[in-house]
Structure 1
Amino acid sequence: MSSLLRIIRFTRALAPLYTAIITCSVLTAAAGLAVPFLIGSATDTVAGAVNGETATGTAVRTVVLLAAAVLAAELAVTVISNVGGWFGDVMSNRMRTILSVRYYDKLLHLPQRWFDGEITGTIVARLNRSITEITNFTKMMSNSFASMLITTAAVLAISAWYAWPLTVLLLIVFPVYVWLTSLTSVKWQRLEGEKNQQIDIASGRFAEVVGQIRVVKSFVRERGELADFSRRFRSTDATTREQSTHWHRMDVIRRAFLNLVFFGIYALIFVRTVQGQFTLGEMVLLVQLMSMAKAPVESMSFVIDSAQRAIAGSKDYFRVMETPVDARTAAVMAARPEDARDAGHADGTGGELPAAVTTAVADSVLAPVPGAPVFAFREVDFAYEDGEDVLHGIDFQVDRGEKIALVGESGGGKSTIVNLLLGLYEPRRGSVEVVGHPSADLPLDQLRARIGVVFQDASLFSGSIRENIAYGHPEASEEEVVDAARRANADTFIRRFPGGYEQVIGERGLKLSGGQRQRIAVARAMLKDAPVLVLDEATSALDTKAEIQVQRGLDELMAGRTSLIIAHRLSTIAGVDRIITLSDGRIDEIGAPAELARSGGIYAQLLDLQSSGNTKKLARFDITG
């Protein structure tokens, strides 16, 4: 229950809706409670007329008025409960929005390491399942069960007025029923967690397969993927059988106890009526009141089942929300409160930001240190996971306007250096400096605004071509977008599409060829116009002709800018100022191309392999001639 209370605290912005729902529940309960009294009075009136104690005409007028009062009460219940239901629907949808936006906000600000250990589809499945279970429960509670609980409390008070033993028996029912249910909960939640784990993994794989459907089909893996998907869902059958057996066994015990207690309640009412302690009308009144008290108890199994699912879902939700966020990442959001208006605080908890974050916001603009290099690596060691480092003692600096190339074997650490420069990871030892400041002291938005990147994987989105080119500069004019595309040699093929720049390119740009995707990515970096340019094998997917044309645009873009180039083809780095060669995560050599060509090191070996046409050995370095 603490998890559900936490959800309410987490969504305290919904307090006006909660108040409206409670008000409607109270009014609905009051109108509903009036009906047994009216029917009881009508019963006494009819009995008086039958026994000759009341004149027939008088009795008829009285029962007609009582029937009209019953109609009015029931109409009030109908209208007010539906008004409350409307508030409940709005509340549950608003809660879904708040929880979803905060979850998304949290994901956007989690460190890269967290994503390295997660499957994308599982993250999405967890969002859908957890929030659906939470909002379904709150919707059910607001639309029906809240008024039933209020009614039950009123019944307890009324029954105490008529016969205190009835209240005692009712007071025995509720705690014992809840206690028996609590005995069920621990095992039920454990089994539910096991099911959710398998379902989340299967759903994650499902999303992954849909996203990579061409790979699945090309390797004829449809049956294998379906078998794995089926196996995980079938594994939940045995868990469900165990879970259901346990639940229904306990439900038999609970309901048998409930039936026994209500036998005593009804027997007490009937006997006292026969003994003359209750009139027929009071008997009818009390029987109806007891039935109203019994309804929420009987439905409690369903409520508790829904509550258990919501609790399990909320635990998964808060497990993500409690993942620590880098203070620099939180500072980015805190510095842009308009972005977080619906998302809550940047720490993802709905609480106040820590002092470290507010300090980072206050110092968010750091002036470059005069004479400092644009960026520098100072004795950097790094490991993606605990264990062996993938970078060892990386130490170099890049001055303003320099063009630096990274060359080395595949897996030698070239892309890792780019990841560290972008602040996606922190060094295990040493530091990365940008404009004279440790990158750890720079807010991430300020750091990354200085860097334009073209990755080896173009990484496009499913919107239009224009949206993708303008991704880093959404306010760009049409002329600026077209100019960037033209310089990246993309304008010609873009205009061939029926939609031109508004052509939707599908998930990850699947409607484009590899070369087309890469040119869109190059145009995107050009439009960002950052002072530092990183080309992570930016022309790897282009044919020779397209590469030459795009390279012209890149040369223009690199003019006057600091550039870091991961080489795929030796021809793309012939004009750089310096080359840094890497071997097993260590710097082997640093020097001008002409100097390294004579040193006998890695670069010289690559030139010899290229001139000899030994493509097999060149492939080890991700290098072609």
Structure 2
Amino acid sequence: MTSLLRILRFAPQLNPLYLGIAVSSVLAALLSLATPFLIGAATDRIVDAVAGRTGVAEAVTAVTWLAVAFLAVEVAATAVVSVGGYWGDVMAARMRTVLSTRYFEHLLHLPQRYFDTALTGRITNRLNRSITELTQFLQFFANNAFTMLITTAAVLVITGFYWWPLAVLLAVVFPVYMWLTAKTSTKWQVWEGEKNTEVDVASGRFAEVVSQMAVVRAYNRQEHELAGFRERFTKTVGLTRTQSRFWHGMDAWRRLAMNVVFGLMYLIVFVRTAQGLFSVGDMVILLQLMNMARQPIFSMSYLVDSAQRAVAGSKDYFAVLEEERERAGGRALEAGEVRAVPNGPAEARADVVEGETVPLPADVPAVRFTDVTFAYDDDAARPVLDRVTFEAGVGEKIAFVGESGGGKSTITNLLMGLYPVGDGRIEVFGNDVAGLDLAAVRGSIATVFQEPFLFSGTVRENIAYADPDATDERVRAAAKAAYADSFVEGFDHGYEQIIGERGLRLSGGQKQRIAVARAVLKDAPILVLDEATSALDTRSERLVQAALEELMVGRTSLIVAHRLSTIASVDRIVTLRAGRVEEIGTPAELSRSGGIYAQLLQLQQAGTKEAKRMLKEYGIHG
């Protein structure tokens, strides 16, 4: 239950609703307790009239008023329960909003390494399952728990007033039943966790297949994917059989024991009434009170069942929230903590807004790597980067050349702070990235990836992703600079055209030009191009490359290129071999050095199949 209490503490703004629900539950419980007494009193009046101890007219008047009182109590109880139920529904909806937002907010600040290994579908399914189970339990608990507790306590007190042995029997029933239920829950949660794992894996694969349906169909793997999906859910059926057989078997024994105890109590009440120790009205009151006590006991199974599901779900939920967030100012950022502007006076520190950048002094390199060593896995045989050192001056164009997997893209990933540096130092305009707020670092960098990474909204939304407040004029100017305005204006809805998930309604060249327009709009001082045209046809590549050439003017550009013609136009080349810098120099210098770049030029001139194969090992297409 600790995790459930932790959930409740997440949303102190819901305290008024908790209080309202508690008050309505107390009132509902008290009103329900009045019913047995009204019915018992009416029973005694009727029995007295039938026995001739009172007049019929007097009895009719009395039972009429008791009936009116019963109606008033029921109307009041209906109103109270309805209001409490409304508050419970609102509380559940608001709690769902709080939990979902907190989960998403935390995901947005987790390191890139977390997403390298986590399945997208599993992340999504964990959110849906955990929060649904939590909110369902909290809603049921809020609407029923207080009523159950108050009713139980009142029944014990009232029964004890009539005859204390009955109260003792009831008092023994509750803790024994709860103890037996708790004993059952340990095994139940283990099986529930195993089921959740199977469903999460299946959901993760489901999301992957849906996003890559063309590949699945191209290789006729529909039946294979379906079989794997079915197998996961079939395993949950077997687990459910074992889990449910155990739970309901134990529940049957608990209920049987309770039936025996309540049967004994009914017998005692009947015998004492027959002996004249209880009146008929007393008997009616006690029977109804015991029935009222039975309901909370037997509802305990559902309460515990839903609580167990909530606890199991909350474990997954908190497992994500306990993941360490990206650092801020050289340390991990705690949940809900404010990000601070780097290098600012203490009294001026505030949230970093989109588009904010690192200070730009003119007398230092824009980017500097000093003895940077990095491995994606701590236990890797060798690092991806090994003591890499280079610098890029303001406005300089630097290209990276090396074999595939040699660390070219890793350099750009480290620059953007997607991964923490193992050893060494990375500086942006003289500022150590390890001590800067990552929002400011990334605000200084515009990136065009090999994959455009577009969203399912409109063309305008995708271009303005770098600055949602950009005017239409700025968006159109960015599109024009990226040679995208001609095809965008040809759409039926122009810049408001919906492009589909990941831009599926666009060609490869169109998607990449929108990605370039997004980078143009950002107008950052550092530009990263990670094989930005490698997946395009020749005509689209020419258009995108022309847009990139204009975009690079006046900016520090780091280029992971795939054509030697592009590399030839840069200011300097950094060649990498086995994660180490082999050479740094101008294209002219390195073409004569006999190193990697000179070898690539020779292979290009050779033009043989073997030469082309070797070029591709370095990510060069020609």
Same fold by TM-score greater than 0.5: yes
SS at match of 1:83: helix
Q: Summarize deviations over 1:34-81 as a string: whole Å, max 9, x none.
A: 111100000000011011111000101111111111111111121211
Distance in 2, matches of 1:359 and 1:173, equals 62
1:239 corresponds to which residue? 239
Matching of residue 313 in structure 1 with residue 310 in structure 2: no
2:271 corresponds to which residue? 271
Q: Summarize deviations over 1:262-291 as a string: whole Å, max 9, x none.
A: 122212222221222211111101110110
Matching of residue 147 in structure 1 with residue 141 in structure 2: no
1:560 corresponds to which residue? 554
Aligned pairs (5 A) from 1:591-610: 591-610=585-604
| Offset of residue 574 of structure 1 | 1.9
2:115 corresponds to which residue? 115
| Offset of residue 369 of structure 1 | 5.7
Matching of residue 375 in structure 1 with residue 367 in structure 2: yes
2:254 corresponds to which residue? 254
Distance in 1, matches of 2:330 and 2:243, equals 41
Distance in 1, matches of 2:464 and 2:523, equals 11
Aligned pairs (5 A) from 1:150-189: 150-189=150-189
Matching of residue 406 in structure 1 with residue 400 in structure 2: yes
- The one-letter amino acid of 2:182's match is S
Distance in 2, matches of 1:270 and 1:521, equals 83
2:476 corresponds to which residue? 482
Distance in 1, matches of 2:117 and 2:146, equals 41
2:423 corresponds to which residue? 429
Q: Summarize deviations over 1:382-417 as a string: whole Å, max 9, x none.
A: 111122311111111111111100111111111100
Query: In terms of mean alpha carbon deviation, does 545-554 or 356-365 score higher?
Result: 356-365
1:338 corresponds to which residue? none
1:620 corresponds to which residue? 617
1:347 corresponds to which residue? 334
| Offset of residue 542 of structure 1 | 2.8
Label 1:31 to 1:155 Cα distance change in 2 as closer, same or farther (>3 A).
same
Label 1:550 to 1:117 Cα distance change in 2 as closer, same or farther (>3 A).
closer
1:47 corresponds to which residue? 47
Quick one: which of 563, 574, 579 aligns to 1:569? 563
Label 1:127 to 1:7 Cα distance change in 2 as closer, same or farther (>3 A).
same
- The one-letter amino acid of 2:423's match is R
Distance in 1, matches of 2:44 and 2:273, equals 13
Question: How big is the alpha-carbon RMSD for the aligned residues of Structure 1 and Structure 2?
Answer: 2.2
- Aligned partners of 1:328 and 1:360 also within 8 Å: no
- The one-letter amino acid of 1:28's match is A
| Offset of residue 545 of structure 1 | 3.0
The TM-score, its normalising length taken from structure 1, stands at: 0.94
The TM-score, its normalising length taken from structure 2, stands at: 0.94
| Offset of residue 303 of structure 1 | 1.4
Distance in 2, matches of 1:578 and 1:373, equals 14
Query: In terms of mean alpha carbon deviation, does 500-509 or 536-545 score higher?
Result: 536-545
| Offset of residue 486 of structure 1 | 1.3
| Offset of residue 229 of structure 1 | 0.3
| Offset of residue 607 of structure 1 | 1.2
Distance in 1, matches of 2:471 and 2:193, equals 50
Distance in 2, matches of 1:533 and 1:356, equals 22
Distance in 1, matches of 2:311 and 2:245, equals 20
- The one-letter amino acid of 1:542's match is L
2:284 corresponds to which residue? 284
- Aligned partners of 1:488 and 1:554 also within 8 Å: yes
Instruction: Give aligned pairs, total.
Output: 610
1:299 corresponds to which residue? 299
Distance in 2, matches of 1:451 and 1:356, equals 16
- Aligned partners of 2:460 and 2:475 also within 8 Å: yes
- Aligned partners of 1:369 and 1:437 also within 8 Å: no
- The one-letter amino acid of 1:511's match is R
| Offset of residue 331 of structure 1 | 9.2
| Offset of residue 17 of structure 1 | 0.6
- Aligned partners of 2:328 and 2:339 also within 8 Å: no
Distance in 1, matches of 2:593 and 2:45, equals 114
Aligned pairs (5 A) from 1:410-559: 410-559=404-553
Quick one: which of 351, 376, 384 aligns to 2:376? 384
- The one-letter amino acid of 1:23's match is V
| Offset of residue 359 of structure 1 | 8.1
1:215 corresponds to which residue? 215
Label 1:233 to 1:33 Cα distance change in 2 as closer, same or farther (>3 A).
same
Q: Summarize deviations over 1:483-542 as a string: whole Å, max 9, x none.
A: 111111111111222121111111111111111111111111011000000111112233
- Aligned partners of 1:327 and 1:360 also within 8 Å: no
| Offset of residue 379 of structure 1 | 0.5
Label 1:534 to 1:409 Cα distance change in 2 as closer, same or farther (>3 A).
same
Gapped regions of structure 2 (runs ≥ 5): none
Query: In terms of mean alpha carbon deviation, does 159-168 or 107-116 score higher?
Result: 159-168
- Aligned partners of 2:358 and 2:428 also within 8 Å: no
Distance in 2, matches of 1:502 and 1:615, equals 43
| Offset of residue 362 of structure 1 | 4.0
Distance in 2, matches of 1:91 and 1:483, equals 47
Label 1:410 to 1:563 Cα distance change in 2 as closer, same or farther (>3 A).
same
Distance in 1, matches of 2:150 and 2:385, equals 64
- Aligned partners of 1:488 and 1:550 also within 8 Å: yes
Query: In terms of mean alpha carbon deviation, does 381-390 or 262-271 score higher?
Result: 262-271
| Offset of residue 354 of structure 1 | 11
Matching of residue 589 in structure 1 with residue 580 in structure 2: no
Label 1:528 to 1:244 Cα distance change in 2 as closer, same or farther (>3 A).
same
- Aligned partners of 1:125 and 1:200 also within 8 Å: yes
Query: In terms of mean alpha carbon deviation, does 311-320 or 383-392 score higher?
Result: 383-392
1:343 corresponds to which residue? none
SS at match of 2:483: coil
